[in-house]
Homo-oligomer: A and B are copies of this chain.
Amino acid sequence: MPRTILMLPGDGIGPEIVAEAEKVLNKINDQFNLGLSFESGLVGGAAIDETDTPLPDETLEKATRADAILLGAVGGPQWDSLPMAKRPEKGLLGLRSNLELFANLRPAILYPQLASASSLKPEVVSGLDIMIVRELTGGIYFGQPRGVRELESGERQGYNTYAYTESEIRRIGRVAFEAAQQRGKKLCSVDKANVLEVTVLWREIMNDLRREYPDVELSHMYVDNAAMQLVRAPKQFDVIVTGNMFGDILSDEAAMLTGSIGMLPSASLNSEKQGMYEPCHGSAPDIAGQGIANPLATILSAAMMLRYSLNEEKAAEAIEAAVSKVLDQGLRTADIMSEGAKKVSTREMGEAVLAAL
């Protein structure tokens, strides 16, 4: 069965890192006879510059047809003063919502080879392996009404709406419980149920689901405490599930605990397991075009894609093993460089993974 992958390089370092991941996917396609074919499209600032919109219809059509999408990153200072609806981020948000990619999986894993890169003490983070399950198509990111209005007093008020329905909560809850079942069987649901009504409902539905997954130990934590506990003792967590906004904050915090956010992939899935895969890091405009960005998060995102959307576990593992091997060889891009290692460029890193395959 022929399967199509849509490549969306996007902005900043996006094109450089996606290029390396594409080489890796091409080779693995041949090696494992996966029958993948590749398309590419415009999104974000790159799309704005060419078509005046961050998510052209053509891209959305290709995305809808594709079996999976590999995205680089979007955004950059040159588009920051555009009105909200025309910003690069709307391309990303539009893809998430149009394809209903409600389940965002963000692992925070410490690679033993990179243990010293963390700003935390080794004993606090060694062996760290957390999975953050973030709801991605609801909550305050998409809630209506929203905008800036003029009050009777004449002054302006900005407003957004944080809303979740029972079914939105239930479907992300199921994904999280299932992830926990396949891992350490511990799920921590993060909310602010002592203040926000929407998260009182969140907590209630998570408690309901518990009955369907008796083998998973469910706990609840307020978001402020979770932000603290991630710093204090991150290894207490196995799977964390939370809404879109809290997930945005906590997954970035968790990723940074490892000290090597340039290593972390992510998956955004819908209920048909169609998915968009992207590195956890952003478009890093400050180093774009210099050939020094770390392509490994994108390459590992390609591995996640093979695992979750294409059901090619062996091919996924082959990529992950190759990445581990180049780390063992002491190859490091600038962001994960340490004394005694060999500093390599984006392309050299990509070539090394290819060679290790």
Q: Is the CB of B232 within 8 A of A249?
A: no
Using an 8 Å CB-CB cutoff, how does the interface string of A154-183 with B read, 1 for contact, 0 for none? 011111111111110000000000000000
Stretch at the interface among A33-41, A191-199, A311-319: A191-199
A142, closest chain B residue (CB): B195
Q: Is the CB of A158 within 8 A of B201?
A: yes
Contact partners of A196 in chain B: CB under 8 A: 140, 146, 158, 160
| A84-B200, A196-B140 known; A231+B248 contact, CB < 8 A | no
Contact partners of A158 in chain B: CB under 8 A: 163-164, 196-202
Which of B119, B167, B198, B231 is A121 in contact with, Cβ under 8 Å? B119
Contact partners of A228 in chain B: CB under 8 A: 252-253, 255-256, 261
Q: Is the CB of B231 within 8 A of A197?
A: no
Which of B163, B195, B252 is A159 in contact with, Cβ under 8 Å? B163
Stretch at the interface among A219-227, A270-278, A296-304: A219-227
CA distance A64 to B166 in the complex (A): 41
Task: Kindly state whether residue A151 has any CB partner on chain B within 8 Å.
Answer: yes
Task: Kindly state whether residue A75 has any CB partner on chain B within 8 Å.
Answer: yes
What's the least CB distance linking A243 to chain B, in Å?
Answer: 10
Contact partners of A119 in chain B: CB under 8 A: 120-121, 124, 231-233
CA distance A55 to B258 in the complex (A): 43
Task: Kindly state whether residue A206 has any CB partner on chain B within 8 Å.
Answer: no
Q: Is the CB of A156 within 8 A of B253?
A: no
Contact partners of A195 in chain B: CB under 8 A: 89, 93, 141
Count identical subunits in the complex.
2
Contact partners of A332 in chain B: CB under 8 A: none
Which of B166, B199, B255 is A156 in contact with, Cβ under 8 Å? B166
Using an 8 Å CB-CB cutoff, how does the interface string of A318-352 with B read, 1 for contact, 0 for none? 00000000000000000000000000000000000
A122, closest chain B residue (CB): B121
Task: Kindly state whether residue A143 has any CB partner on chain B within 8 Å.
Answer: yes
Q: Is the CB of A192 within 8 A of B245?
A: yes
Contact partners of A84 in chain B: CB under 8 A: 197, 200
CA distance A228 to B256 in the complex (A): 6
Task: Kindly state whether residue A292 has any CB partner on chain B within 8 Å.
Answer: no
Task: Kindly state whether residue A257 has any CB partner on chain B within 8 Å.
Answer: yes
Contact partners of A310 in chain B: CB under 8 A: none
Contact partners of A146 in chain B: CB under 8 A: 196-197
What's the least CB distance linking A93 to chain B, in Å?
Answer: 7
Binding site for B on A (CB under 8 A): 75, 84, 87, 89, 93, 119-121, 124, 140-141, 143, 146-148, 151, 155-167, 192, 194-202, 223-225, 227-233, 245-246, 248-253, 255-257, 259, 261
- 11 further A-B contacts with Cβ under 8 Å, apart from A119-B232, A119-B233, A148-B200, are A84-B197, A93-B195, A120-B121, A141-B195, A155-B165, A158-B164, A158-B199, A227-B250, A227-B252, A228-B255, A249-B249
